Structure 1
Amino acid sequence: MASHAVALATGGGAIEVYKGGADCRRRLVEILKENSLPTGLLPFDDGILELGYNKDDGFIWMKQKEKKQHYFSKAKLTVVYEAEVAAYLQPSGMKKIKGVAAKELFLKINAEEFSVDGDPVDGSIHVKTTIGISRVLPASAFQLEV
């Protein structure tokens, strides 16, 4: 599939839509950096089918072929990403997250909010779940591994 970008003008502002793996992945990393978030927080590979972003309100969505699991070894945490993931980005944070859950023992616990305290490389990430559990993790655990 050829990669391409489309800008849609809506009443809520311009929406960027990208189709195809490598361009989606590159733009996702740029968007995370622009919002002072760790670049590996959403570790989608070139299997992203679609990436959409409304810079005005921060709404972002990603579609991939199927759900995937990712193990963040530095955080000792397995995260499940559904085939469709969406959230509202803000400087150093994400809210109203859909499609992201941590696996703890035999449970899947949905993430609701991420916020970065300090630098997105050396600071910490506060994760809030839909059941009220919070956890603080090193932001370095969520950087892209080169």
Structure 2
Amino acid sequence: MGLVTEEVRAKAEMYTGDEICREKTKCFLKEISMPNGLLPLKDIEEAGYDRESGVVWLKQKQSITHKFENIDKLVSYGTEVTAVVKTGKIKKLTGVKAKELLIWVSVSEIYTEEKEKITFKSPTTLSRTFPVSAFIVPEEVEAAKEEPAKEKSSEATEEVTEEEPAKEAAKVEPAKEAVAVKEA
């Protein structure tokens, strides 16, 4: 790991353990305005981020291959992924390869010029652009935000008896749509 020197490690925020490392990875991606599903690593042993230099590193137990279903692309993540980051850009990326036709191509840079598009660049300057939405993973927090809205809709239909749950569900759904239309 050429980017991660002892000096960088000494100044960096470092985390160990899969759960906290996954959480911190999503946080740092959000901080630099990148989609939260860009680094779907598993069994992360260590994550580090030196805000001053922008150096980030992630170590996982073994290499993984992930398929981004929305764009039908395979991406391989090595046991060590390193990069230099700043808002909207990941440079000097190591440990990431994408499959193009029959060969694996190293990805050295990722950037967003517009909020809807993300570009991946290889060391040979070949690049591919995709919609940012292909790399966004719905967060669990969003599901919790939807529940209070359902409760409000349920309160409006309290008169319905317990014997008719299908009718109650039918009444709640149109109420939700009406709220959405009013807000828009």
Same fold (TM over 0.5): yes
C-alpha contact (below 8 Å) 1:12/1:56 kept by paired residues: no
2:100 corresponds to which letter in structure 1? E
User: Could you tell me which residue of structure 2 aligns to residue 3 of structure 1?
Assistant: none
2:63 matched to 1:63? no
Task: Give the Å deviation of 1:14.
Answer: 2.8
Name the one with the larger helix percent: 2
TM-score scaled by length of structure 1? 0.86
| Cross-structure match for 1:5 | none
| Structure with greater strand percent | 1
2:30 aligns with 33
RMSD: 1.8
* Structure-2-length-normalised TM-score: 0.69
Instruction: Encode CA deviations 1:72-103: one digit per residue, 9 max, x unaligned.
Output: 01121100000100001110110000000001
> Whole-Å Cα distance in 1 between the matches of residues 11 and 88 of structure 2?
22
Could you tell me the percent identity over the aligned residues? 35
Structure 1 outlier segments of 4+, above 3 Å: 9-13
Residue 102 of structure 2: aligned partner: 106
In structure 2, do the counterparts of structure 1 residues 17 and 83 end up closer, same or farther at CA, with 3 Å as the change threshold?
A: same
RCO (CA 8 Å, sep 6+): is it higher in 1 or 2? 1
Instruction: Give structure 2 stretches of 5+ with no counterpart.
Output: 1-5, 140-184
CA distance in structure 2 between the aligned counterparts of 1:96 and 1:53, rounded to whole angstroms: 14
1:86 alignment counterpart: 82
Matched, 1:15 2:8: no
Distance 1:11 1:143, change over 3 A: closer
How many residues are matched?
134
Distance 1:13 1:36, change over 3 A: farther
Distance (Å, rounded) in 2 between the aligned partners of 1:57 and 1:129: 22
1:11 is displaced (CA, Å) by 7.6
- Asked if structure 2 preserves the Cα contact closer than 8 Å seen for 1:43 and 1:144, the reply is no
Residue 43 of structure 1, aligned match among 40, 44, 59: 40
